[in-house]
Amino acid sequence: MSGTQSAPADHSLHLRDIEASYGSSVALRSVTADIRPGTIAGVIGPNGSGKSTLLKAIAGVLPISRGSIRLGDAEIRSRASQVAFVPQREEVNWDFPVTALDVVLMGRYRSKGWLRRPGATDRRMAEAALERLGLAGMGERHISQFSGGQQQRIFLARAMVQEPLLVLLDEPFTGVDVTNRAIFHDTIREFAASGIIVMIATHELAEVQLTTDVVLCLNRRMVAFGPTATTYTAENLRATFGGQVAVFEAGA
Amino acid sequence: MNYLTEPLSYPFMQRALIEVTIVGTLCGLIGCFVVLRGLAFIGDALAHAVFPGVVLSYIGGRSILIGAFAFGLITALGIGILSRSRRVSEDSAIGVIFAAFFALGVVIISRQGGFRKDLGSLLFGNILGVSSSDVWATLVVAIIVVAVTLALLKEFTLVAFDPTMARSAGYPVFALDILLLLLVSATIVVSLQTVGNILILALIVTPPATARLLTDRLGRMMVASVLIAIASGVAGLFISYHAATAGGATIVLTATAAFLIALVFAPNHGLLAGLVGRRRGRHHVHHYHGAGEDPETA
């Protein structure tokens, strides 16, 4: 499914001098970065540094007050249907009366247009995605009946069937244990291998070192951006976290 | 059997039964989205805010539907726009609007003679006074509201479940919310005659809340909600006939009784089911023991 994206056109993500505000206070400024297809990008910074704000701005959920966000040669909103957003656990209403399969099928809605319902093909895609994420045969269960890691996989399956160019993950490691992290890593590497850009906002620095190709350091403004190997340095971390973090020698 | 057949010999009871069936269908369906999108307070506000429209139509000798629709439209748009600006908290803004509109209605009607009697029937509905043309108007509105709701079922569901994803995928979430508020307004307006401004929220919120206790599936919840709303309406009407109680309030209490029964006896979500054995793995499980393992049997 996601692997079928033969993307000859350049679908890089271009962030140009983005500024986003909540009311009158600027939450985020001066973010400029280019991220190529197939890249796993980490967004790090202390609490309140604007990680979530940046992801939501890219997702079009929060308006930007300045700058531009483009996906390839088009303004990103015109490609909205190919931007998959995986929300933070806390933002999901787990009591909502939907099954795992219902949630995954939501990833197919945009491709159906306004009046058509997902059909047998979409159902098969959704079931295949659940199966790939190790949830075969569990699609008919209510979403509250899964563990934290399984719940996250449901949302990864939803992103998968959306056939996206860009997947945005907001704090994906919350409540996810070691076994589930392994599945998570496999999945995002699969995404990247098929040319999808994966963006992960997280405060878990160990994960950043382990998973990402490039890293964007935020503290209400962009502190640094570049390949993880050269950007994830003690100096940049200190500048980003301002001494709130005991910097273990990084990038080594 | 006389208990059931005797009331049916009266045309006003026949009309009332048809009316509560239509209203039950409408409220039971749209109510699911009011409950799931967390719009109960806004719904209540809408119900109160249309009051001056009802009063003005009544004084002008027109169908109360016209005035109520006008004010419902204004309020739905007003709330939608206010909830977007960040000047006042949304709850406060809604509170200010609906109390002010409601007071305006009361002030207008207090200028009329026979104020108490009119106020009563406007505030609490007058299900036995429903005319044939009222029934027809309710039917037409119900068909439109149900058709729009079913046509946009997947969009309304997505926006209610995950508005962030909906927005990021390019859905016009704000427009869909406004449309939902308009559908809720229309539902409230045509249901006013059944239970009145103050109690209408009960018909919109109680049946879906009851249905949610009975099932974890949205489709089944909608069907159950509609059936519960219709059953409460019909049963409440019969009880009020024989007990000589106010129709609207009796319908509301019947729906409440159904809710309480479900709250205690519902198979998975009921209090008894909770006591008998807390189902493991439900509601925010944070522990996890291995890949593919079933948290329910773990």
For A146-188, write each residue's pLDDT tens digit: 988 899 999 999 999 999 999 999 988 887 888 888 888 999 9
Read off the pLDDT of residues B12-63 as tens digits, 9 standing for 90 and up: 899 999 999 999 999 999 999 999 988 888 888 888 888 888 888 878 877 7
Is A156:A133 a contact under the CB 8 Å cutoff?
Answer: yes
Predicted pLDDT at B1: 60
Mean pLDDT taken over chain A: 86
Helices B90-110, B115-124: inter-axial angle, 10-degree rounding = 140
Which residues 35-94 on chain A approach chain B with CB closer than 8 angstroms? 56, 59-61, 77, 80-81, 83-85, 87, 91-94
Nearest CA-CA partner of A89 in A127, A144, A166, A40? A144
Q: Give the pLDDT mean for B206-227.
A: 95
* A184–B contact, CB cutoff 8 A: no
Nearest Cβ partner for A96 among B161, B167, B286: B161
Would you call A114 exposed, middle or buried from its count of C-beta atoms within 10 A (0-12, 13-18, 19+)? exposed
Give the per-residue pLDDT at A180.
84
- Measured between CB atoms, which of A61, A112, A177 is closest to B168? A61
Asked if B31 and B183 count as a contact pair (C-beta separation under 8 A), the reply is no
Burial A71-104, CB ≥16 within 10 A → b, else e: bbeeebeebbbbbbbbbebeebebbbbbbbbbbb
Minimal Cα–Cα distance from B180 to chain A, Å? Answer: 15
pLDDT at B45: 86
CA distance B190 to B138: 6
The alpha carbon of B146 is separated from its chain's Cα centroid by a whole number of angstroms, namely: 13
pLDDT at res. B197? 77
> Tokens representing B234?
């019909």
- In whole numbers, what is the pLDDT of chain B averaged over residues? 83
Q: Which helix (H) or strand (E) holds A222?
A: strand A222-227
pLDDT bracket for residue A252 (50, 70, 90): very low
Q: Do B284 and A117 touch (CB under 8 A)?
A: no
Predicted confidence (pLDDT) per residue in B236-259, tens digit:
999 999 998 888 889 999 999 999
Q: Nearest residue on chain B to A85, judged by CA atoms?
A: B165
Average confidence (pLDDT) over B116-138:
80
More confident residue, A73 or A200: A200
Lowest mean pLDDT among A45-59, A122-136, B19-33, B77-91: B77-91
- For the cut 60, the answer to whether the pLDDT of residue A23 exceeds it is yes
Q: Where does the pLDDT of residue B231 fall: very low under 50, low under 70, confident under 90, or very high at 90 and above?
A: very high
Interface residues of B toward A, Cβ cutoff 8 Å, are: 36, 86, 151-155, 157-158, 160-162, 164-165, 167-171, 212, 215-218, 221, 281-288, 290-292, 295-296
Separation between Cα atoms, residue A83 and residue A163, nearest integer Å: 9
For residue B212, give the chain A residue with the closest CA. Answer: A97
A29 bridge partner residues: A221
d(CA B168, CA B291): 31
